[in-house]
Amino acid sequence: MCVRLESYESEEHQKMVRSFLDGRFENTAFCLLAPDGETRLSGTGRSPSQGLRQRRGPGRGRGDNGVVEAMEKVAKKFRAKGTKEGAILQDFHSFRQGLNVASGDQRLLIFVVATENDRKTLGTDLRDLMSDKEIIGKFHMDFADEEPDSQWRDAVKGERGKTGIFVIRANAFGQTGSVMEQLPVDATPEELKNALLEANTSFAKTEKRKVYSEHVAAGRRARVHFENGMPYGEDRDGDGVIDHRAGRGGRGAGPEAGERRGPPAGRRGGPPRGNRRPGQPPQRPRIRPGGTE
Amino acid sequence: MKAAHVFWISIFSGGLALAQGPRPDDLGASPQPVGEAGVAWYTTWETARAEAERSNRPIFFMAAAATCSGISGVF
């Protein structure tokens, strides 16, 4: 199963990134982990090919440097249990981030606003639907939380009622959106599935794939800015301080984030190092006679 | 399945490009058609870890920025 965290969303996320990059903070990080969420099954790096090549050696496998084969090999070591229909549902820490990510991935966002009791029921009842082969991987999903999401209506056009299952189309910059479909929280799975598929078909017909460079250029012209939980910028020397000026950063931002100035401070090869827990700071090498370990 | 493979390849090649330091001008559009199934991401560590434990499946962990220079709506 796959998890992708927003690097700038919280200090907690940045601690995880640092734990995978030997104390550095960079925009992207990768690792394969065992189901316990702690044991590392691969090397680490800014990308899957970096992390998995650490174990496999470069130049092997298919055009993706053998990443797919390496992942399949790891997956085969575990016997999956439970049913796919019972899969826990996706959620975001906030509607705001959910809308941004839905915009970035160009998927519709299913936003569930329900009372506490209904939310618990829906958290189980919607599992089957969200694992449906016609649905899975086509949407993002978020459950409204009281505190961070209290202002969600300010960002969205077309919503009615206090509760419901809202199918929302994010705007180009993921800071506002519009409701394409709205269903009651007691809608049947069939009603929901039909509404989701219909909305997705309509979305696919009218949404043009973003060209990254053009999107960023348009955002600069329009002075778009998304205030994240953490300041933008990277700490490539791992000294705990963001390396460059505030307000810049993010993926591909200027020479600081866009150019690698020499190799990173961390390890670039060899087997995975230990089983450090995500979020746990890296250990300093221990000095011993004749070298370090 | 084909779409999913295309998606993974784009992630891997994109990730490698990131490692080499792309500028926004270097990055184009995702090869995956809008509306097709991609990766079913978990987007909080809590839900991901709970699902991994429930299903005994290994975790593909990624962290990435959903902004570029503070400009939102990109991943």
Q: Which of B30, B39, B44 sits opposite A92 (nearest CB)?
A: B44
Most B CBs within 10 Å, among A11, A105, A136, to test the B interface: A105
Tell me, what's the pLDDT at A293?
A: 29
Taking 50 as the threshold, does the pLDDT of residue A126 lie above it?
Answer: yes
- Nearest CA of chain B to the CA of A162: how many Å? 25
Of A28-32, A274-278, B32-36, the least confident: A274-278
| A203:B34 CB<8 A | yes
Residues 259-278 in A contacting B (C-alpha not used; CB under 8 Å): 259-260, 278
B68's enclosing H/E stretch is: strand B67-68
CA gap A247, B69 in Å, rounded: 7
Q: Which residues pair with A109 in a beta bridge?
A: A140, A168
Taking 70 as the threshold, does the pLDDT of residue A105 lie above it?
Answer: yes
pLDDT in tens, A15-24: 999 999 999 9
Tell me, what's the pLDDT at A7?
A: 96
Tell me, what's the pLDDT at A258?
A: 34
- Nearest CA of chain A to the CA of B3: how many Å? 11
Q: Which residues of B touch A77 (CB under 8 A)?
A: 58
Tell me, what's the pLDDT at A56?
A: 47
| B35:A204 CB<8 A | yes
Residues 12-71 in A contacting B (C-alpha not used; CB under 8 Å): 12-13, 16-17, 20, 27-37, 41, 45-50, 63-65, 67-68, 71
| B12:A170 CB<8 A | no
Taking 50 as the threshold, does the pLDDT of residue B19 lie above it?
Answer: no
- Nearest CA of chain B to the CA of A134: how many Å? 8
pLDDT in tens, A207-246: 999 999 999 999 999 999 999 999 999 999 999 988 865 4
Taking 90 as the threshold, does the pLDDT of residue A119 lie above it?
Answer: yes
| Chain B residue with Cα closest to A72 | B58
DSSP string, A164-220: EEEEEEE-TTSS-EEEEEEE-TT--HHHHHHHHHHHHHHHHHHPPPPPHHHHHHHHH
Tell me, what's the pLDDT at A47?
A: 86
CB neighbours of residue A148 within 10 Å: 14
3-state helix, strand, coil in chain B (%, to 5): 45, 15, 40
Which ipTM value was assigned to this complex?
Answer: 0.81
Q: Mean pLDDT score of chain B, rounded to an integer?
A: 81
Can you tell me the mean pLDDT for A169-191?
97
Of A147-151, A185-189, A259-263, B9-13, the least confident: A259-263
DSSP string, A168-179: EEE-TTSS-EEE
* pLDDT class of A251 with cuts at 50, 70, 90: very low
The answer to whether A179 contacts chain B (CB < 8 Å) is no
The strand pair at B67-68 and B59-64 is best described as unpaired
What are phi and psi for residue A292, nearest 5 degrees?
-125, 165
